[in-house]
Amino acid sequence: MNKPLRRIAIFCGLLVLALLIRDNWLQYVKADSLKDDPANRRVTIARYSTPRGDIVVDGDPITGSVETKNGDLKYKRTYKNGPMWAPVTGYASQAFGANQLESLEDGILTGNDDRLFFRKTLDMITGKQQQGGNVVTTLSAAAQKAAYSGLQQQGGKGAVVALEPSTGKILALASYPSYDPSTFAGNSTTTDAKAWKKLQKKYNPNDPMLNRALRETYPPGSTFKVVTAAAALENGLYTSADEKTDSPLPYIMKGTTTELKNEGSIPCKNATMRVALRYSCNTVFGKIGADLGNDKMLAEAKKFGFDSEQFTPVRSSASVFSDDMNSSQTALSSIGQYNTAATPLQMAMVASAVANGGKLMKPYMVDVLQSSGLDPVAKTSPEELSRPLSAENAQILQSMMETVVKEGTGTKARINGVTVGGKTGTAQHGVENSENPYAWFISYARLPDGSSPVAVAVVIEDDNAVRDDISGGGLAAPIAKSVMEAVINSKK
């Protein structure tokens, strides 16, 4: 071979080598980034070329898919009772992406998850169109309806979370006001874009797309006294519900000249913890927190889940109990004020741990992931998260919470034939407490056989209510009662 031909051959060989390197770079190294590139229209078209799988509650789908009339994206998402279920499902929109379960379980719902390889291969061999799998939730339709209807009738803002104490299954997860994900599931620049814009906080101060059950933290007020009582028992400060506490009246917080006051004239001087929880004595529980100190109170709060995000698998914001507080700050935090803040999920976890004999189970809302053929792909197993209380101390705290409902501030949560334990809370907020307080109620139901099928947390924020009419026992307890009854009746 002469020299010019040899040079041409070498040059062509280098071109082929460069082509092979480039091809392998694109197919293997850059494959994922190209697939996820928003400018890659073919991926988007393929994504919406088949119906999505469904999110399922009590055996029935609460989602669906429908063929679009225009454009190259064939199917869009539909929702049944969209506003009621939005805090669970999230949304899947051709124009605005997806969030919550629709996003986290997108691979299963579209059929692209690697765990569906066998099903995809079988469909390819048989020539069947690829189909998405299903996400089977732990939710109870009856409990969710009771929770959402209660919030809707109340008319303000708020949230409800219900758990099954023995497993951690989420039975209800409601937030109000809410939104219908169907209204912006397509990609129309007129209808879908306008519907999306109306839901944004910038244009809608009620912020209907905020998941208040998981993502909003509120001062928990007197419901946090359950955590403080648990800390007193676990640290041996008091050993029974009926032992008199060292609680002067008035109580001047250590290091200050400020009196920690109670609401009205109630029997709080040296009251037992049972009496103090029944009447919601700030002085008793504030002093307990100060006597235990920041470190012990923080340790107990963390056992209940404070200061940690929860993944259900949807992320829940971390509730807060602060470190490095002085005595008076610890006292205020121990009655659910100062920096203390909690999600409704967190306070449902508190009630759940007490109901479950001191054992806190990890909350979750996805029971089973299924292939399109309904074969199980993955199943969630209950998992213990922590032990905030010994079984003995849990029984003591149960008796205290049950007194609250029998003859204290939580009487509106009573259920005939069922033992109910609860705690009310009215949490102050705003500059110098200028805003309407938040109304809280946490509770659990215990059946005659000793089992506890449900624990609930309810929070109400109503800017239009008469301030003097706002109380956890008045606004939140009736909603908790209806949710507990729905769970109990659904098991009959």
**pTM for this prediction:** 0.90
> Which whole number is the average pLDDT over 32-51?
72
In 308-356, DSSP assigns E strands to 310-311, 315-316
Q: Is the pLDDT of residue 466 over 60?
A: no
DSSP line for 140-185: -HHHHHHHHHHHHHH-SEEEEEEE-TTT-BEEEEEEES---GGGGS
What is each CA distance from 80 to 56, 145, 181, 236, 421, in whole angstroms? Answer: 11, 12, 10, 51, 34
pLDDT band at 479 (very low <50, low <70, confident <90, very high): very high
pLDDT band at 79 (very low <50, low <70, confident <90, very high): very high
Largest pairwise CA distance in the chain: 111
Domains of the chain: 221-365+386-490 (3.40.710.10)
HEC string for 270-300: CCEHHHHHHHCCHHHHHHHHHHHCHHHHHHH
CA 141, CA 119: separation in Å to the nearest integer? Answer: 30
Ramachandran angles phi, psi of 490, nearest 5°: -70, -20
Residue 432: the pLDDT is 47
The residues that bridge with 426 in the sheet, in sequence order, are 439
pLDDT band at 11 (very low <50, low <70, confident <90, very high): confident
Q: Could you list the active site residues?
A: 222
Handedness of CA 447, 450, 454, 455 (dihedral sign): positive
The closest alpha carbon to 286, from 245, 322, 323, belongs to 245
Residue 465: the pLDDT is 44
Q: Is the pLDDT of residue 236 over 50?
A: yes
Q: Is the pLDDT of residue 411 over 60?
A: yes
The closest alpha carbon to 216, from 315, 149, 312, belongs to 315
Amino acid at 280: S
Angle 133-135-137 (CA atoms, 0-180°, nearest 5)? 160
Q: Within a 13 Å sphere around the CA of 64, how many CA atoms are in the beta-carbon half?
A: 9
Residues in Cβ contact with 276 at an 8 Å cutoff, skipping those fewer than 6 apart: 225, 245, 247, 268, 284, 285
The residues that bridge with 93 in the sheet, in sequence order, are 97
Q: Is residue 307 within 8 Å of residue 296, measured between CB atoms? A: no
Residues in Cβ contact with 439 at an 8 Å cutoff, skipping those fewer than 6 apart: 425, 426, 459, 460, 461, 462, 470, 471, 472, 474, 475, 476
> Which whole number is the average pLDDT over 241-257?
95
Residue 125: the pLDDT is 65
Of the two residues 135 and 12, the one the predictor is more confident about is: 135
pLDDT band at 476 (very low <50, low <70, confident <90, very high): very high
Of the two residues 59 and 2, the one the predictor is more confident about is: 59
Helix (H, G, I), strand (E, B) or coil at 432: helix
Residues in Cβ contact with 162 at an 8 Å cutoff, skipping those fewer than 6 apart: 140, 143, 147, 170, 171, 172, 173, 348, 454, 455, 456, 483, 484, 487
Q: Is the pLDDT of residue 487 over 80?
A: yes
Angle 306-281-256 (CA atoms, 0-180°, nearest 5)? 80
CA 480, CA 440: separation in Å to the nearest integer? Answer: 10
Q: Is the pLDDT of residue 397 over 90?
A: yes
The closest alpha carbon to 480, from 442, 428, 423, belongs to 442
